[in-house]
Amino acid sequence: MVVFAAFFRLPSNVTRQICLKHLISSRLHANVFTHTLTHMSTTKPNVVFVLGPPGSGKGTQCNNIVKQFGYTHLSAGDLLREEQSIPNSQYGDVIEHHVRNGTIVPVEITCSLIEKAMERHAVKKFLIDGFPRNQNNLDGWNAQMSDKVNLEFVLFIECPEEICVERCLNRGKKGSGRSDDNMESLKKRFRTYTNDTMPIIEYYDKLGLVKKVDGSVSNPEKVFESIAVFFKTT
């Protein structure tokens, strides 16, 4: 009570100055807070697409990028396999059919799984591995997701088919747990890659967004040295 009494005994002009100072300070803090919330809600996550043939080393290099540059790795294939393994999954049977036939899962399913996975992570820098893989994927992404993210570039890991096939078969022998690491599925997957995915890479290349590396090098660390250059400049 003594403090308040002393305050009100101050000359009126001093009282007004003190009140005005506190009012301005409060408004400044409120504006900063509002700006921060607005920035947080409107900042788009950064995305790098990682494309290349089966067995080119996309997963290995994504793990390296995550460790070195703090991105979150989202593999379209892993998300689909995870969904497929869930009992009574809404999409399980559809995914299984496409995986076994080496064909591409409908884009609505893949985009939905990618978007949900992105929402679960606080770090808003994503590597999306193995997507988009065909024109339908690209159209679906542009319609559903392109305005929600900032596409930094497309990392294309180039590798000859014979090397990729050998890697995949060896991976299958070591117990990769993937139902498509066999010769029959690989032939279909490479046909799909050549016919459907390469045109997407060429599309992004015309936009100046493709960063290409040689994935045939047997030492993954050497491949990563080439990849790291692109991330250090972003």
**Same domain, yes or no, for 105 and 31?**
no
pLDDT number for residue 99: 82
Confidence tier at 179 by pLDDT (50, 70, 90): low
What tokens appear for 168 in the block?
């995949």
Contact assessment for residue 213 and residue 156, using Cβ atoms and an 8 Å cutoff:
yes
pLDDT number for residue 37: 39
pLDDT number for residue 71: 97
pLDDT (tens digit per residue) in 100-109: 887 888 999 9
Write the CATH number for 179: 3.40.50.300
Average pLDDT, the chain: 84
How many alpha carbons fall within 13 Å on the CB side of residue 122?
Answer: 0
**Same domain, yes or no, for 153 and 122?**
yes
pLDDT (tens digit per residue) in 58-86: 999 999 999 999 999 998 888 999 999 99
pLDDT number for residue 7: 44
Residue 214's H or E segment, with its range, is strand 210-214
pLDDT (tens digit per residue) in 91-133: 999 999 988 887 888 999 999 999 999 999 988 999 999 899 9
Distances (CA, A) of 24 to 13, 14, 15: 16, 15, 14
**Same domain, yes or no, for 68 and 25?**
no
**Same domain, yes or no, for 110 and 79?**
yes
Please give the tally of structural domains in the chain: 2
More reliable by pLDDT, 188 or 7: 188
| Span of 17-26, 33-42, 164-173 with lowest mean pLDDT | 33-42
Confidence tier at 234 by pLDDT (50, 70, 90): low
Mean of the pLDDT values across residues 137-158? 96
**Same domain, yes or no, for 199 and 172?**
yes
**Same domain, yes or no, for 79 and 109?**
yes
**Same domain, yes or no, for 29 and 136?**
no
Mean of the pLDDT values across residues 42-51? 91
**Same domain, yes or no, for 31 and 86?**
no
Residue 126's H or E segment, with its range, is strand 125-129
**Same domain, yes or no, for 32 and 91?**
no
Q: Is the pLDDT of residue 38 over 50?
A: no
Token pair 């929402």: residue: 119
> Domain residues for 92?
44-232
**Same domain, yes or no, for 172 and 69?**
yes
DSSP state of 130: T
**Same domain, yes or no, for 6 and 77?**
no
Q: How are the residues of the chain apportioned to helix, strand and coil, as percentages rounded to the nearest 5?
A: 60, 10, 25
**Same domain, yes or no, for 150 and 225?**
yes
pLDDT number for residue 49: 98
Confidence tier at 29 by pLDDT (50, 70, 90): very low
Contact assessment for residue 154 and residue 210, using Cβ atoms and an 8 Å cutoff:
yes
